[in-house]
Structure 1
Amino acid sequence: MKKLFLFCNLFLLVFISTAQEKTTTFPNDFLGIYKGTLQIHSPRGKQEIPMEFHMVKTDSVHKFDYKLVYNGQPRNYTLLVKDSAKGIYEIDENNGIILPSKLANNTLYSFFEVQGNFLSSRLAFSENQLEFEILFTATKNKTTTGKGTEEIPFVYGYPISVVQKAVLKRKVN
């Protein structure tokens, strides 16, 4: 009985040590067309619209077509690979606007200010799904708390007024 127990444990140990976790490479392993419904929560209430996200290869190894489609209206961007080892990317809006982006754990983050508003975007990729999220706040709505001392510094808050969120399913690889 002890030999059988020892053999089973040894077999399990060998199996576990040789099993490899599937590794993914961004963006190549997440190319395709993702579709779903975007939920928008704002002071005007809740709204739902159809949404798509397309990420497709181009002729350049460091450029990818990156398209957002809201309610049938496409926005054509380009994803630029700046330093994949460090997770540094850019989203080129193809109009002179380029947004810095950071990849961590197959999630692409971007944070920027435009016309007095802060926006934060998060695109979390998994095998056949994309979690898309944008948070929006007006800089004029800044709150200040704290005392401005070394022990209790001022802390500035920006109340989020709009949340856009979608879970998109990959349709085409």
Structure 2
Amino acid sequence: MKYLLSFFIAILTVFTISAQNSTNFPDDYLGIYKGDLVINSTGKTQKIPMEFHLLKTKDEGKYQYKLVYNGQPRNYTLVVKDKEKGLFEVDENNGIVLPIKFVSNTLYSFFEVQENLLTTRLAFDNETVDFEILFTKSKNKTTTGKGTKEIPFVYGYPVTVTQRALLKK
């Protein structure tokens, strides 16, 4: 009986925590977020004003996804592909469409453009977005390991540029 009671308490705790962490993305995080973007590259640090707009549109399953760097807007569209699985796309409205994954209140994307690898992360909280981009050139690849079944080759890509901003509604 003691084990059964412990089991039910554990299950209740899991459901309570899950209910507290459940969100309806993107609707729960609509708004305009502002802050400063800090760019670090090769010993240089630069700070510029940044905004992130996540707003409803007239079209079902599409949201305005605007990044503003130093007053210069980049107008994209966030497209819902499979909300239950956290699958979305960022349509740059120019023929470029990037897959994006939402999990644990965070949007993740990883892509390559012109032999450059980029990963983006937008972690949402009640009134903030922690925005981050990591960048490296694919030609900077390092190789370690032996190429055997036991010790395969591992390819590394040293990060050369970081961009990070804590944006507030």
Aligned equivalent of 1:156:
155
Alpha-carbon distance in 2 for matches of 1:22, 1:45: 38
The answer on 1:166 being equivalent to 2:147 is no
Give aligned pairs, total: 156
Distance 1:123 1:49 in 2: 18
Which position in structure 2 is the counterpart of 1:97?
A: 96
- Please name the residue that 2:6 is paired with: none
Please give the secondary structure, in 1, of the residue aligned with 2:24: coil
Paired AA for residue 109 in structure 1: Y
Equivalent residue for 1:62? 61
State how 1:1-173 maps to structure 2 within 5 Å.
21=20, 23-170=22-169
Summarize deviations over 1:2-58 as a string: whole Å, max 9, x none: xxxxxxxxxxx9xx98x7636421000100000000000001500000000001100
Q: Which amino acid aligns with 1:43?
A: T
How far has the Cα of 1:106 moved from its partner? 1.2
TM value normalised by structure 1: 0.86
Q: What are structure 2's unaligned runs of at least 5 residues?
A: 1-8
Unaligned runs of 5+ in 1: 1-12
Q: Normalising by the residue count of structure 2, what TM-score does the alignment of the two structures yield?
A: 0.88
The code of the aligned residue for 1:58 comes to: T
User: Identity rate of aligned residues, in percent?
Assistant: 63
**Runs of 4+ in structure 1 over 3 Å off:** none
Match of 2:28, SS state, is helix
User: Which has the higher Rg, Structure 1 or Structure 2?
Assistant: 1
RMSD between superposed Cα atoms in Å: 1.7
